[in-house]
Amino acid sequence: MQRRECLRALALLAMTAALPGLASARQNDALYRIRDLRRGTWLTGDALLAELARASAVIVGERHDNAEHHRLERWLIAQLAARGVLGGVVLEMLDPEQQRTLEGVPGVLLAELPEPELLALLDWQRDWDWAAYGPLVRQSLQLGVPLRAGNLTRETIHALVMANQVPSLPERVARAQRQAIVEGHCGLLPESMLDGMLAAQVARDRAMAAALAALPSTSVLVCGSAHARRDIGAALHAEPAPLCLGLVELAPGQDWLSALPDSVDDGPAFDIAWFTPPAVRHEDPCAALRQRFSS
């Protein structure tokens, strides 16, 4: 027990550094600033943490290839743990088979495994960049909080896509989800696959909401931005309603309002938005999809 508490204390010490980026933000610049979209006010880092600590659950939406988003996620989790309110962590990047592995080995032992052994034990899916998510997995293990899968197995997702059945959703939600799927696939997705892709997206939202519901209060779900939206994502299937925090890329010179997604209802797409620099993308993200659908 003493060894485990020592590891946890070291993890907290290493991860509760000053809030990244805010010290360099200018008063009239939205970059690295935090906006409470419900109230129309700007928040300090401490005020954000107070909001998160009061929430029944927290959903954090990222751009998967943005390293700054991963860094901010780790900072948030460390801060909530340091305040003694972190109930657990749910990751979109983990599936139920990997969760069974996690449950079979004490987290303190997993946290000490060398990278190759931990990767092999988890049978980590190479679609998820381990350099981005490995530190988040190890952080959760070091903190000794429950770490849960938010995703479905590949087999389940494939079966949903192939069945191509329209899920039961309010029409305005379904329309927005379809548009997000089309845009996320660079407009290349065949119309014949759209219903199945939508079914898989909704099933994953429901799985994430269920994983959060199974953990103590103030647990954190880390997922893609679309899943984190209050109006169309996992929050629709969660009770009580979680707090939805979007990590939103803001290009140089861009107005922060234009960086936010349009909501399908009268409320904002996220409860709170944290504006960050965009990732540097040297390659065309649509190139691989073009090749796939042209072959």
Whether the CB-CB separation of 149 and 222 falls below 8 Å is answered with: no
Q: Is 189 inside any structural domain?
A: no
Q: Is 139 inside any structural domain?
A: yes
Type of residue at 20: P
- In the chain, the number of structural domains is 1
Q: Is 286 inside any structural domain?
A: no
Q: Is 288 inside any structural domain?
A: no
Q: Is 15 inside any structural domain?
A: no
147-149: strand order across its sheet: 41-43, 34-36, 272-276, 243-249, 57-62, 219-224, 89-91, 147-149
Q: What is the pLDDT along the chain (295 residues), one digit of tens a residue?
A: 455 555 454 445 444 455 555 444 444 489 999 999 999 999 999 999 999 999 999 999 999 999 999 999 999 999 999 999 999 999 999 999 999 998 888 887 899 999 999 999 999 998 999 999 999 999 999 999 999 999 999 999 999 999 999 888 899 999 999 888 888 888 878 888 899 999 999 999 999 999 999 999 999 999 999 999 999 999 999 999 999 999 999 999 999 999 999 999 999 999 999 999 999 987 777 776 666 666 5
CA distances to 103, 116, 140, 164, 207 from 94, rounded to whole Å, are: 13, 17, 13, 24, 11
Q: Is 236 inside any structural domain?
A: yes
Q: Which domain holds residue 52?
A: 41-152+211-261+273-278
Question: What's the CATH number where 72 sits?
Answer: 3.40.50.11550
Type of residue at 108: V
Q: Give the dihedral sign, CA 29/35/41/46.
A: negative
User: pTM of the prediction?
Assistant: 0.89
Q: Is 67 inside any structural domain?
A: yes
Predicted local confidence at residue 189, as pLDDT:
81
Predicted local confidence at residue 8, as pLDDT:
54
Alpha helices in the chain (DSSP H): 2-15, 45-54, 67-82, 96-104, 107-110, 115-122, 130-143, 154-163, 171-184, 194-213, 225-228, 287-294
Q: Is 33 inside any structural domain?
A: no
First-to-last alpha carbon distance for the chain, in angstroms, is 56
Cβ partners under 8 Å of residue 259, min gap 6:
248, 249, 250, 251, 273, 275
* Residues β-bridged to residue 222: 60, 91
Predicted local confidence at residue 27, as pLDDT:
42
